Amino acid sequence: MTPHQERGNTVNRQWVGHPRCVGMARGRLRETLEAWGLSALEDDACLVLSELLTNAAQHGGTPSGDAIQTRFVRQRGGLRVEVRDGSSEWPHRRTPTSEALSGRGLGIVEELSDRWGCWQRGECGKTVWAELSLPDGGLGHGR
């Protein structure tokens, strides 16, 4: 884990590109959702974050030990989760066979989020994001 920044409705964090960062990032997201009154999104948001971080660590061209950035943004009625890595290669959804051990991550993200996408970050790197809404469309409350 490396430096982080929190400002009202946004939490930025950097993580070492290692599989252990996924669990630590989920813990930070749970804390953030609780503080923002968005705990109803916890299960789906943590799964989306896990898939995006795993993709960044495995396919994002981020060598082990390099930073992957996460950004959690409280939005009206929900949450935006962003994961930034050093690769310019955009993610693409696969259609895995029933025997395949991988390839379902973006399908899970698509199913659990209201919308998701990707944008280029300068010369190299990208941000993959997903937005999730509260079941009741509420604003959430928090400190």
Residue 87 belongs to some domain of the structure: yes
Residue 30: domain span: 4-92+121-133
Per-residue pLDDT 10s for the chain (143 aa) are 445 566 789 999 998 877 788 999 999 999 999 999 999 999 999 999 999 998 888 766 555 556 899 999 999 999 999 999 888 887 767 676 777 666 678 899 999 999 999 998 777 789 999 999 998 755 555 44
pLDDT of residue 13: 94
How many Å apart are CA 33 and CA 88, to the nearest integer?
30
CATH number at residue 71: 3.30.565.10
pLDDT of residue 47: 97
pLDDT of residue 43: 97
> Would you call 137 exposed, middle or buried from its count of C-beta atoms within 10 A (0-12, 13-18, 19+)?
exposed
pLDDT of residue 96: 66
Closest of 106, 112, 66 to residue 87, by C-alpha:
66
pLDDT of residue 41: 97
Residue 38 belongs to some domain of the structure: yes
Residue 25 belongs to some domain of the structure: yes
Residue 97 belongs to some domain of the structure: no
Cβ–Cβ under 8 Å, residues 103 and 94: yes
Residue 107 belongs to some domain of the structure: no
Q: Count up the domains in the chain and report the number.
A: 1
Closest of 44, 59, 58, 53 to residue 111, by C-alpha:
44
